[in-house]
């Protein structure tokens, strides 16, 4: 549980070892130190100039489309019987709406464009920052009781903006009930935003809302998913930046406790599926909102079990075409095609946990679902940040 004292980390790891996960025995202090290192050791920044030209061109093209189209409405995706309930990208299955909604959480656009930010030119950075300023003003990512986190204004989040779909939607009001609350993952998203854009004033000006999201999460009093561990890492770093060491240490300890529990990989898979899945759904929810730090932790501690899980998912008898946009449904009954909750999480696990090379990840990029496909942009960034192959490869044209 989340309130388990840090002194019990060793016993948790021992239990996970008995469950069959690959974990090396360590003494108590080494375990605590190792897990806390994942909280405080940031992903090394790569030189954007060293990124492959074709991938940067593809990234610029996708971001440019978003800037041209302005605010984008969430994507309304109907793929079969699994779409009878809304799948929300922060671990909350809402009431019946007749579709799966993608990119409802305003924190996702903040995170995705912040990831892309270092790879953009000066003029485009200015345009992206202005775009995010307006997005965060209209749809605050952490302000409870406002924008996407309140009723009836929540309906505006579903209906306002340029549509992403390639088809007309019914002329009716959209609704999701109960109205969700900002997820703890948004705290990591905001940390990436502040770090990459330098806008720490936004963090200071919205600190009370950030604290409320953190408090709401703690009140759940349960073992975190891997995505939620990333949110706790974000909270620790935000508190450190705000010079509140006691709060930073508390959030870091909660993240470390979550990692200690998380070496029981199969348990986290079950928890993530319970929070997100359904009888007819085929999403790979255990890797939703996976961050580089949590991916590194998984790679260091349970890589063998993670790889076996991914190998089984992507085998010929399961989902061999997992990477394809609009692939024929392979893992969930009574659906026409797979949702991005298959290709996106598996791709990010290959990048962050298995640490595949640029050459390996390129094979699985495929194409965007639509304009403003945030997960495709995340894949491009993860591929650019992946290790380069040890040999030269010629690519005759940029990714379209």
How high is the pLDDT of residue 341? 87
CB of 285 within 8 A of CB of 273? yes
Domain boundaries defined on the chain: 6-69+115-120+184-385
Q: Is the peptide bond before 28 cis (omega within 30 degrees of 0)?
A: no
What does pTM read for this prediction? 0.87
- CA gap 383, 98 in Å, rounded: 34
| Residue located via tokens 């870091």 | 252
Two structure tokens written together for 379: 């894949």
Q: Do the Cβ atoms of 263 and 9 come closer than 8 Å? A: no
Tokens of 4: 């388990």
**Tens digits of pLDDT across the chain (400 residues):** 444 444 444 344 343 333 444 444 344 444 556 799 999 999 888 888 899 999 999 999 999 999 999 999 998 887 766 554 444 544 444 433 446 788 989 999 999 999 999 999 999 999 999 999 999 999 999 998 777 887 777 777 888 899 998 888 877 667 666 778 899 999 999 999 999 999 999 999 999 999 999 999 999 999 999 999 999 999 999 999 999 999 999 999 999 999 999 999 999 999 888 887 655 566 788 999 999 999 999 999 999 999 999 999 999 878 888 998 887 776 655 667 778 888 999 999 999 999 999 999 999 999 999 999 999 999 999 999 999 865 554 445 444 4
* Residue closest to 55 by CA, chosen among 351, 355, 374, 359: 359
Distance in angstroms (rounded) separating the CA atoms of residues 10 and 28: 5
């Amino acid at each position: 549980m989340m309130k388990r004292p840090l002194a019990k980390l060793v016993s948790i790891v021992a239990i996970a070892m008995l469950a069959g996960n690959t974990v090396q025995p360590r003494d108590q202090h080494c375990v605590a130190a190792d897990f806390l290192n994942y909280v405080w050791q940031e992903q090394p920044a790569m030189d954007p100039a060293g990124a492959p030209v074709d991938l940067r061109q593809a990234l610029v093209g996708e971001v440019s489309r978003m800037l041209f189209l302005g605010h984008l409405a969430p994507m309304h995706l109907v793929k079969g019987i699994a779409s009878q309930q809304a799948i929300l990208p922060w671990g909350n299955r809402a009431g019946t709406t007749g579709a799966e909604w993608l990119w409802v959480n305003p924190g996702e656009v903040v995170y995705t464009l912040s990831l892309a930010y270092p790879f953009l030119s000066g003029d485009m950075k200015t345009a992206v920052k202005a775009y995010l300023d307006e997005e965060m003003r209209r749809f605050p990512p952490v302000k409870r009781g406002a924008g996407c986190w309140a009723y009836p204004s929540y309906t505006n989040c579903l209906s306002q903006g340029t549509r992403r779909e390639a088809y007309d939607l019914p002329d009716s009001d959209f609704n999701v009930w109960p109205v969700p609350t900002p997820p703890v993952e948004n705290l990591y998203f905001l940390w990436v935003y502040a770090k990459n854009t330098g806008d720490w004033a936004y963090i200071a000006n919205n600190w009370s809302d950030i604290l409320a999201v953190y408090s709401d999460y703690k009140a759940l009093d349960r073992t975190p998913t891997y995505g939620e561990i990333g949110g706790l890492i974000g909270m620790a770093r935000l508190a450190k930046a705000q010079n509140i060491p006691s709060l930073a240490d508390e959030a870091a300890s909660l993240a470390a406790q979550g990692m200690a529990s998380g070496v029981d990989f199969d348990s986290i898979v079950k928890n993530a599926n319970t929070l997100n899945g359904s009888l007819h759904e085929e999403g790979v929810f255990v890797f939703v909102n996976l961050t580089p730090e949590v991916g590194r932790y998984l790679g260091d501690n349970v890589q063998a079990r993670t790889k076996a899980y991914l190998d089984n998912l992507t085998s010929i008898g399961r989902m061999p075409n997992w990477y394809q946009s609009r692939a024929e449904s392979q893992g969930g009954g009574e659906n026409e095609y797979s949702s991005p909750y298959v290709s996106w999480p598996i791709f990010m696990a290959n990048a962050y946990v298995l640490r595949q090379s640029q050459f390996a990840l390129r094979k699985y990029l495929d194409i965007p679902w639509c304009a403003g496909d945030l997960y495709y942009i995340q894949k491009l960034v993860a591929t650019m940040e992946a290790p380069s192959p040890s040999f030269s490869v010629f690519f005759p044209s940029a990714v379209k």
